[in-house]
Amino acid sequence: MAKADMLGESLWDAYSNKVTTLMNNPQHQGEIFEAEAEKRGHKLIVADFGAESCGDAVRLYWEIDPKTDKIVDSKFKSFGCGTAIASSDVMTELCIGKTVQEAVKITNIDVELALRDDPDTPAVPPQKMHCSVMAYDVIKKAAGLYLGVESESFEEEIIVCECARVSLNTLREVIKLNDLKTVEEITDYTKAGGFCKSCIKPGGHEAREWYLVDILADTRKEMDEEKMKAAADAQAEGGGSFEDMTLVQQIKAVDAVIDENVRQFLIMDGGNMEIIDIKKNDGYIDIYIRYLGACNGCASSATGTLYAIESTLKEKLSKNIRVLPI
């Protein structure tokens, strides 16, 4: 928040002149009918995407020369706001003259770029980027119909952010490579989540299969596991013996074993324990611990529980361990 936010920008003022012009006077609005196309020896493909009940709908018409697979003419019909009409118009413009195979490569970013007045100023405010999202989807669908294949087959990758067309693999790589910790950082690096924001987390404008928050959490978890594995491997290379570890490493190792095998049972009984010190003593490794909570003074803490702790540590770390409660 700052001075610029005190009076929010007017939505319509942020549209490029091209958007405004095409909204007022779309060039490729209209229909192509099957009979006409056939008369010209061409094949007509008509594909719908979206529906009135969801706020945006587009119908794309392709007249294709079957000999060359070239889209000789294209028109659209759209139920949608100004930017939806303008972006549909540019989409058809971009399709004309291309082969079906080439047209499939048209992305939403291409459509948005074509709507810009100058290359550096976005044609629409970020939240309206959503309206041109349909371009890629409807093109894919039309191409699938023409080629007789599932439209999903054009998807080589899982797309997480439809607006900026950022794939799952790209996101994972960028997070790992740059050690990204927040969704904002992901948006800064990849533009994913910077437009309609649906892909950031559930509950946005539309439901998604993948969300940036989950991808970030999963990738971070993967990174942590990799790190731990690397540390463990390094330890193994260094001999891996508990006796050879530094004191800090020993305390961490003991803590890890306690956490994994012992602590939950102590907590269940209303107690806990902490490691006070570790000392080498005549070939033994003495681990000094202190009982906390209900464990403190419990009869079993000097017998059964103590035996359980000691035997676990002996098994997991070193047979020379002795546990001494203080």
72 binds other proteins (CB under 8 A): no
Residue 131 appears among annotated catalytic residues: yes
131 binds other proteins (CB under 8 A): yes
**CB nearer other proteins, residue 58 or residue 285:** 58
34 binds other proteins (CB under 8 A): yes
Residue of 96, 109, 145, 292 interacting with other proteins (CB under 8 A): 145
**CB nearer other proteins, residue 127 or residue 261:** 127
21 binds other proteins (CB under 8 A): no
Residue of 155, 157, 206, 260 interacting with other proteins (CB under 8 A): 206
61 binds other proteins (CB under 8 A): yes
93 binds other proteins (CB under 8 A): no
For the chain, what is the HEC assignment?
A: CCHHHHCCCCCHHHCCHHHHHHHHCCCCECCCCHHHHHHCCCEEEEEEEEEHHHCEEEEEEEEEECCCCEEEEEEEEEECCHHHHHHHHHHHHHHCCCEHHHHCCCCHHHHHHHCCCCCCCCCCCHHHHHHHCHHHHHHHHHHHHHHCCCHHHHCCCCEEECCCCEEHHHHHHHHHHHCCCCHHHHHHHHCCCCCCCCCCCCCCCCCCCCCHHHHHHHHHHHHHHHHHHHHHHHHHHCCCCHHHCCHHHHHHHHHHHHHHHCHHHHHHCCEEEEEEEEEEECCEEEEEEEEEECCCCCHHHHCHHHHHHHHHHHHHCCCCEEEEEC
**CB nearer other proteins, residue 34 or residue 93:** 34
CB of 24 to other proteins, least distance (A): 7
Residue 95 appears among annotated catalytic residues: no
Binding pattern for the stretch 183-202 against other proteins, x by CB under 8 A and - elsewhere: -------------x-x----
| Alpha-carbon span 164 to 199, nearest angstrom | 11
**CB nearer other proteins, residue 144 or residue 193:** 144
11 binds other proteins (CB under 8 A): yes
80 binds other proteins (CB under 8 A): yes
CB of 124 to other proteins, least distance (A): 11
Q: What is the binding site for other proteins (CB under 8 A)?
A: 8, 11-12, 23-24, 26, 29, 31-34, 44-59, 61, 76-82, 84-85, 127-128, 130-131, 134, 141-142, 144-145, 196, 198, 205-207
* Residues that are catalytic: 54, 131
